[in-house]
Structure formats: C-alpha cells, structure tokens
Structure 1
C-alpha cells in the first residue's frame, strides 16, 4: 500500500522540499498544515489532528514552540511522527518521549545520511579519545535567520561524544563562553555558534590534545538531503512498534 504522508509546515522552506521528495519517493501527499493555501494545491488541514487523521504518517519540521501540543495530538492519533524541529527544551523532549510510548516517533537532530554517519564516528571517537587528554569542541555555522543556538545537529554531536565517554551532555556542556571564564574544565564539551549569510549548515568536531588535533567536518550545501532522509524515515516508520527512534535506526545503525 502506498504511504500517505502529511507535512506540518508545508509552506515553509523545508515543507516545500518535503513535498517534492514525497512525490519523488512515489508516496501520496495527503496534505499539510499551514497558514495559507499551497501553490501546488495540496489539501490544507486546520490542525495537526485533522492532518494525522488523513495521513499514515506525519513529518514535522515546524517550530519548537508547538512540540508539546503536537506530541499530545500525534500520540492520540496513533500515527507515526517524524520530528525534525530543533531547539526543543527538556520539557519538549519529555513530551516527545511520552508520545513515543504510544506511537513510533523518529526524532533526529538531522536526517541527512552523512550527518548520521558523522554522529556514529563522533561516538566512537569520544570513546577512544579520553576526556582527560583530548578536549572536545564543536563549531557550527548557519544562515542568519536561524533562531536557536547551538544547532540541533551540534547538540547531537555533543551527545554522541558524551555517550562515548559515558556521561550526560548536560553535565559537561560549555556554550557561549564570554569574559573571564577561567581555565577550561577537563572533560568539558565546548560549543561555538556562528551565524551569517545563507549557510545551510557546517559542523566541525575537534578533539585537541597536547600533541595532536583531530577534526571531523560535515558541510551541507542543500537542504534537500534533510528532506530526502525525512521521507525515508516516514516510509520506514510504517508498521513499527511504539518507541523513540533515531535516524540511526532508519539507516540500520541503531
């Protein structure tokens, strides 16, 4: 059976790419939620509940401010939810985890296959390079319109390194250093966020010791890679049991 895919935020920059990728994948575009009608004439639903009812799975790249309400609506719908919104708070993520007890939720900081391979390597490097000898720093740059920092992908990198080292990122994260900060904490994972122009996304993970530096970099030149991965995740989600999944699971690396 052909999958019916709904898109929350269908008229946005990612939404328009998702429309194209849904069609390219041979799936059915069931419609979307948006503030105005779409140029292509896709059905517009008044809210996420109505969209989910008309779809087999919903892809959501909207604002983090809607995450908790959407989580409750999707859990009630019984339909899979592919979530790519960034900037979620701890309370937002708790709502996502609660929804995953009722439905399959694929939540990823980045749906690009390349980024997820980088995340896998980041975890391995975190495990192999001891925190007392190798300082981990993450530098990211995005377009000037991006409203959250550090980026979701940068946070994902930090979590991968922390997991490799057997700690929680929240315990070791240092972001936005300014002024007289004192010496760097041993074991800290540092973040620097750059904003400017129309950069789609650049992320570099650096491990620095007294004798060597190792850098792992991913550069995105087109948002389409995110849309392609999200549609792949949506099709993969059909028939899966309720659980919180990542793009690693979709790629068979979970």
Structure 2
C-alpha cells in the first residue's frame, strides 16, 4: 500500500542565530510539514557548531555552520533574511546545488536584483521585501486605491522600524511606492521624493513622498496617505511580531514545492495576481 503522507519540506535557514533566524526555526519546528535541514551563520558567530534549536531548549540535530554548501547539502529550500551581499553568496551556492530559495532580504541595488533574476533561470525563487500575508494583502489594496485616486490626491508613505535597521526607506515602503506608481502609470525612480528639508517650494502633485522613522524596537509600521481636498485616506499596516514574516515564508516554501525554476513574489504565493 502506498502511503499518502507527503514528505516534509526540508528547509535551511540563513542567519540562523539572529532574531529572524530564531523566529524561522521556531516556526519550522511548529509547522507540522517542514523540518529544519540546515542552519548557517557567519564564521565569527559564537554559535557555530551548536545545535540550531538550542535556544528553544530543543535538540534539532542540525548544527549551525559557516560552510554554506555543507548547510545546504540536505535541504530543498533556503530561507534568507540576511544582507544583500550574504544573500547573493548563498544564492550562488543554491544555484550550484539546485536548492530553491525564499528571499526576504532588503536593500538590494538594481544590479544585485539582476543577479536574482539570473539565478531564477536555474532554480525557483520567491523574492519579496515583506513575507507577511497581511502586508501583501495591503499592497493589493494600495494597487486598487491608486487606480481610483490617481488624480487629485497627494501620496505620502511613512514607515517606522527599530533602531537596528540599516536601510531606508524600508523594502516594504519601496514596494508600496512601486505598486502605487505602476498602478498610476508612473516611474517610481522619477517621481519618488525621499525626505524634505529647507525651502522646498510647493509640492509637485506627481511625486510620491517617503518618510522614515527609526527608533526603539518597532517591528515595522507602514502608512500610505492619500491626501485630497476635503478628505484623506490612510491605509496602514502594523507588524507586532516577526512571526508574521516567518509564517509567510513557510507559505512561500510550500508554494515552491515541485517548482524547478522561475522568479515569484508573494502575490503569486497568495494568489493575488
């Protein structure tokens, strides 16, 4: 008799000893259909060689490694929320080994994004600046709002994150701007305004403004303001825990099951296209 039980998704985690890495490992352990198959971190990490789930008081049998190829050897997919340079190095190894990837890293430049596009010719990748289910539904709402409010409304995007975040605006804020600009037939590179200071003159109605706040332990707040004459519409998403990113990442892992190559985003994962 052939068993109908599906084999678990074998997942590796990059940056396994960081805050997001811990959240991902805990989510994998609690998932029921995913198993931790690899864990990696920088060679200078004091946790190299330790069990990746030790922080949970649990023995996973997976040691934290600095050797990327060794960490990926038994894995089917890598989840990566590290830094652009590290992610691209990990992606190179994924491509060589035929391991799919879920990338939530932000701060990539145009040339670096092209490397991700190129890698997707050989492996399947979900690449999104925010893996949260709620924030991606918010992006869809913004697309709808932008089409209806394309004229007569000034658009400002305000985002807030913890003091340790190194890039600004956030990848999610930039994705919001991109979605809005595309819906209105604009080029974000030409219409974005990043902060204001001094005598700026009147606001150009064709622009999309960005403001960034950094402080404390804010996980991630994003508000898009459509300010018209006599009314304003605010669409806000607030993250209270990184667990939403972890759960969204596991949905991306499940989406990639059986896919051999191609570049996807969370709209694909959630069926929002």
Interval of TM-score (by shorter of Structure 1 and Structure 2): over 0.9
Checking the alignment, whether the CA contact within 8 Å between 2:38 and 2:72 is kept in structure 1 is no
Return the match for 1:33 from 40, 43, 53: 40
Paired with 1:39 and 1:248, the residues of 2 have a C-alpha distance of 31
Deviations 1:73-117 (A, max 9, x none): 222222210000111111221111111121111011111111000
Question: What CA distance in whole angstroms lies between the structure 1 residues aligned with 2:38 and 2:91?
Answer: 19
For the pair shown, the structure with the greater C-alpha radius of gyration is: 2
Q: 1:32 to 1:84 in 2, by over 3 A?
A: same
Q: Which SS does the other structure have where 2:64 is aligned?
A: coil
Contact 1:122–1:160 (Cα < 8 Å) also in 2: yes
Q: 2:142 aligns with which of 122, 142, 167?
A: 122
Q: 1:233 to 1:39 in 2, by over 3 A?
A: closer
Q: How does 1:50-199 map to 2 (within 5 A)?
A: 50-130=70-150, 132-199=151-218
Query: Using a 3 Å threshold, how does the CA distance of structure 1 residues 144 and 103 change in structure 2: closer, same or farther?
Result: same
Question: Number of paired residues?
Answer: 253
Per-residue deviation at 1:39? 5.4
Are 1:30 and 1:54, in contact at CA under 8 Å, matched by a contact in 2?
Answer: yes
Normalised to the residue count of structure 1, the TM-score between the two structures is 0.94
Which runs of no fewer than 5 residues in structure 1 stay unpaired? none
What's the RMSD between the two structures over aligned residues?
A: 1.5
TM-score (norm 2): 0.88
Q: How has the CA–CA distance of structure 1 residues 168 and 103 changed in structure 2, closer, same or farther, with 3 Å as cutoff?
A: farther
Q: CA deviation at 1:253?
A: 1.2
After superposition, what is the alpha-carbon deviation per residue over 1:189-242, rounded to whole angstroms, capped at 9, x for unaligned? 110001111111110001111232100001111111111111121122111241
